[in-house]
Amino acid sequence: MSPDLPVVFAALMGAAMLAYVVLDGYDLGVGMLMPAATRAEQDVMVASIGPFWDANETWLVLGVGLLLVAFPRAHGVVLGALYLPVAAMLIGLMLRGVAFELRLKAQGWHAELWNWLFWAGSFLASAAQGYMLGRYITGFAPGVGYALFALLVAGGVCGGYVLLGATWLVARAEGELQAKALGWARWGLAWVALGVALVSLASPLASETVYARWFDFPRTVALMLLPAASIVAGWWVWASSGRLRRAQRASEWAPFAGAVAIFVLAFAGLAYSLFPWVVVDRMTIWQAAAHPSALKVVLAGALVVLPFLVGYTVFAYRVFRGKARAGLYEH
């Protein structure tokens, strides 16, 4: 039996997007937390993500690349409908990407400008991504109500990235900055809880497809495992950060692991809500898929390359394990 290639590629694309959201999520989150830190702390924060941000953003290129390669018919529809938020996200990513370099290399007020643009770009990119997700879930339905829903999702995604960024800093920073990060993590968690609750309530109202998926007894009961597990993950973040604050024994990576778990669970819920649509209510993955000959050649390449990719990514994270220090970014 030959594998169902569109399903394989939907899974690959989903995995790439999830990897992107978690990986760039923490570095965008660190960017959004910049105004809450002193200048010296900001340098440590940037140093903690400096070696990784570039590879992290490559997952976005892979994700959108897979959409383009595997589902060419959907690619144009999705990106066309999201034209302006995509442009906003790209401008945000561009400004913050070069700000990594320029906030240290520029002189005088220019350096201040790029330091500010690093924050602003991170925020713009995160909010735009959340807005795009909100528009995507509703199948790009027109109207003010749907736009408000997308803004709600944008707020939730920003909160999620702040949570990831703060918990990343808990693991990578020391002393005063770590203590601050523990506080930020709890704020981020509260923000995410509120956002997830509001989006979960609004989603079934905003999309009949989603409603039908979730409110189909008796399956609903089994599905309640997902929100239940999310609550456990949230509690885990709260409890482990509390222990760390009281200087009790806890892994410094525990809050970050909990935050990642929340993202994975939210992603699973989203995947369940939308599969097999690639453009909600309009185009399934089978309708949008490229010719099998193209899918096969990409899959073969991906299977050969991905182990190496994972291998050297792990190697890079091992090289830079331990606490971040400001000087690191002075390459």
Interface mask toward another protein for 123-142; x: CB under 8 A: --------------------
Q: Is 109 in the site for another protein (CB under 8 A)?
A: no
Closest to another protein by CB, 68 or 190: 68
| Composition of the chain by helix, strand, coil, percent to 5 | 80, 0, 15
Please provide residue 278's backbone torsions phi and psi, each rounded to the nearest 5 degrees: -105, -30
Q: How far is the CB of 216 from another protein (least distance, A)?
A: 34
Q: What 3-state class would DSSP assign to 278?
A: strand
Nearest to 165 by CA among 36, 305, 265: 36
Binding mask 307-326 for another protein (x = CB under 8 A): --x--xx--x--xx--xxxx
Q: Please identify, using beta-carbon distances, which residue of 61 and 148 lies nearer to another protein.
A: 61
The residue from 13, 28, 62, 233 that contacts another protein (CB under 8 A) is 62
Residues within window 20-49 making contact with another protein, judged by CB under 8 A? 38-41, 43-44
Burial of 307 (0-12, 13-18, 19+ CB in 10 A): exposed
- Taking the complex as a whole, the smallest distance from the CB of residue 47 to another protein amounts, in Å, to 8
- Judged by CB under 8 A, which stretch of 73-81, 145-153, 229-237, 259-267 contacts another protein? 73-81
Query: Smallest distance from the beta carbon of 114 to another protein, in angstroms?
Result: 7
Cβ atoms of 33 and 254 closer than 8 Å? no
Q: Residues 7, 36, 97, 198: which binds another protein (CB under 8 A)?
A: 97
Q: Mapping DSSP to helix (H, G, I), strand (E, B) and coil, where does residue 277 land?
A: strand
Q: Contact at 8 Å (CB) between 212 and 149?
A: no
